[in-house]
Structure 1
Amino acid sequence: MKSLIKVLASGSSGNCYIIQTGEEKIVLECGIDYKSILKGLNYSIKGVVGCLISHKHLDHCKSHKKIFENLPKVIAPLEVLEKFDYMSSSKKVIAENKESIHIGNFIVMPFNCQHTNSDGSECENLGYFIHHKMIGRILFVTDTYYLKYKFKNVDHILIECNYSEDTIQALEPHEQRVFKSHMSLEILKETLKTWDLFSTRTITLIHLSRNNGEPKRFKKEIEQLTGIPTYIAIEGLEVG
């Protein structure tokens, strides 16, 4: 069976992705209804080793209850597990900064990202560096206004590109604050310039703003900068 990354949903209305490697699968985020996740899994959870959740906002963990009921393991930050009362669950795995986790034949390394709640308070949010011998190394980063870590030897990058700085200048300050909790095109470009992308085969831009994202522009500018095939995360996209 082919190894691939599949997009079920990406954006403020919901996020969910599937990594498939042979007979094994792992779900990234569960911010859509469980029926849609099952559909993306071809109505079978056979081979699904677990789910990774980045943070507590519902567009990333809407179906947490069904996920805990049906999947063998759920990897999530402490704040998620405490908020939804899963600390006593035998299925929980607490994700901590730079502490490796083995789940099936996947090796997952969580790392801290920077995100805020709607009131401006800090929100615990994690990115994931995921390795499986059949697909290589995958970097997953969402809902962060910058990254303090540099990466190399990454085969596939899924990373937020929510808006462009020049498109939100006309917005009111309180509206701009919402965007400032996410990664802009400009910050992403500066970030990628500092990474060793020699091994990178694909870049997928995720969590674009519905009204302020510019898919064609973002794709073009990232491809021009990196020379790497770049995709926009839309429902049904498969990258392998």
Structure 2
Amino acid sequence: MELFITSLNSGSNGNCYYVGNRQEAILIDAGISCRETERRMKKLGLSMDKVRAVFVSHEHSDHIKGIPVLSKKYNLPVYITQRTLQRGGLSIPNHLIFSFSPHTYTEIGKLRILAFPKYHDASEPHSFIVSYNDLNVGIFTDIGRPCEHVIKQFGRCHAAFLEANYDEAMLDQSSYPYFLKQRIRGGMGHLSNKQALELFISYRSPQLRHLLLSHLSENNNCPDLVHSMFTGHSEDTTIVVASRYAETAVYTVSPAESASPLTYQEALSGQLQCF
């Protein structure tokens, strides 16, 4: 009853997250090209044949620019709100467009996807929980500040993609214009390292085994800094910094108490212990 997760890319140059069981999978956002999505999944031993749908968090180009080609090539349903579709200007065949409602589960095979609103400067931004049996994986990126929905759902997770976008001092000292700095940290932009760490320390579940720190700023953050901040408070949680240049490993999530990194192939073969 495992779930398999990976970040195919994470950052302002493109975001795409994979969550699936042994039979089916979904993508949360598809902000890299179809060709690059295929290449990275093949490298990881993942098959597009198992991907059943794409769920769209919001209309910013780094989350949607790969969707039209990917959806048409694989006849993939795209779950997106009407306002996000309109604002994103996506060209998708009508028969592949599906809507979702906040606080209501959408079922894709045996996967159950729960969408809920978040603070971000987009038309109808949502975060997601992907559930399979009793396992929950959260995707919490592009968040201006933690709202009650994010706090509640983060506390249910066995694994999570959590935004740690910027270091406050680095942003202050950056060459960004004042209006852009305010947009990033003004409560409708992105989570700072400090905000993300406070959420992790205060509200994580004892069952949280994997935290993939996501959507790091290229100019206002440092992967080593973020990793060291969270590792100091990690306890039983494996801390991974998702790259803006490459895919992460595939991590296997199960309700077992122990945790050790597995390849996707090892988990499917049953030769090693899952986490």
Query: Which segment drifts farther, 144-153 or 40-49?
Result: 40-49
The CA distance in 2 between the partners of 1:136 and 1:90, in whole Å, is 31
In the superposition, relative to structure 1, how do residues 205 and 195 fare at CA in structure 2: closer, same or farther (>3 Å)? same
Where does residue 16 of structure 2 map in the other structure? 16
Kindly report which structure 2 residues correspond to 1:179-218, keeping only aligned pairs within 5 A, or say none: 179-180=184-185, 181-218=189-226
Corresponding letter in the other structure for 2:33: D
The CA distance in 1 between the partners of 2:93 and 2:53, in whole Å, is 17
Greater strand proportion: 1
- Deviation, structure 1 residue 2: 7.5
- Deviation, structure 1 residue 44: 4.8
Greater helix proportion: 2
Corresponding letter in the other structure for 1:179: I
The CA distance in 2 between the partners of 1:123 and 1:147, in whole Å, is 18
The CA distance in 2 between the partners of 1:10 and 1:207, in whole Å, is 5
Kindly report which structure 2 residues correspond to 1:112-127, keeping only aligned pairs within 5 A, or say none: 112-116=117-121, 122-127=122-127
Structure 1 residues 17-61: Cα deviation after superposition (integer angstroms, max 9, x where no partner): 222321312112110111111223339531211111111011000
Corresponding letter in the other structure for 2:31: G
Kindly report which structure 2 residues correspond to 1:57-96, keeping only aligned pairs within 5 A, or say none: 57-69=60-72, 70-83=74-87, 84=89, 89-96=94-101
The CA distance in 2 between the partners of 1:40 and 1:139, in whole Å, is 21
Structure 1 residues 35-89: Cα deviation after superposition (integer angstroms, max 9, x where no partner): 1112233395312111111110110000221233124321123222223367982
Query: Which segment drifts farther, 65-74 or 228-237?
Result: 65-74
The CA distance in 1 between the partners of 2:8 and 2:108, in whole Å, is 22
The CA distance in 2 between the partners of 1:89 and 1:14, in whole Å, is 25
Of 208, 225, 247 in structure 2, the residue corresponding to residue 236 of structure 1 is 247
Of 111, 115, 121 in structure 2, the residue corresponding to residue 110 of structure 1 is 115
Contact 1:7 1:18 in 2 (8 A): yes
Corresponding letter in the other structure for 1:82: Q
Percent sequence identity is 20
Aligned residues: 234
Residue 98 of structure 1 aligns to a residue whose secondary structure is coil
Where does the alignment leave 5 or more consecutive residues of structure 1 unmatched?
117-121
The CA distance in 2 between the partners of 1:56 and 1:163, in whole Å, is 21
- Deviation, structure 1 residue 112: 0.7
Contact 1:45 1:71 in 2 (8 A): no
Contact 1:19 1:25 in 2 (8 A): yes
Contact 1:5 1:19 in 2 (8 A): yes
The CA distance in 2 between the partners of 1:99 and 1:67, in whole Å, is 26
Q: Tell me the TM-score normalized by structure 1.
A: 0.88
* Runs of 4+ deviating beyond 6 Å: none
The CA distance in 2 between the partners of 1:221 and 1:80, in whole Å, is 34
Q: Tell me the TM-score normalized by structure 2.
A: 0.77
In the superposition, relative to structure 1, how do residues 154 and 218 fare at CA in structure 2: closer, same or farther (>3 Å)? same
Of 219, 222, 239 in structure 1, the residue corresponding to residue 227 of structure 2 is 219
Structure 1 residues 193-228: Cα deviation after superposition (integer angstroms, max 9, x where no partner): 331421100100010001111211211212223422
The CA distance in 2 between the partners of 1:12 and 1:30, in whole Å, is 12
In the superposition, relative to structure 1, how do residues 2 and 51 fare at CA in structure 2: closer, same or farther (>3 Å)? same
Structure 1 residues 99-132: Cα deviation after superposition (integer angstroms, max 9, x where no partner): 211112110000111111xxxxx53211001112
Residue 84 of structure 2 aligns to a residue whose secondary structure is helix
Where does residue 39 of structure 2 map in the other structure? 39
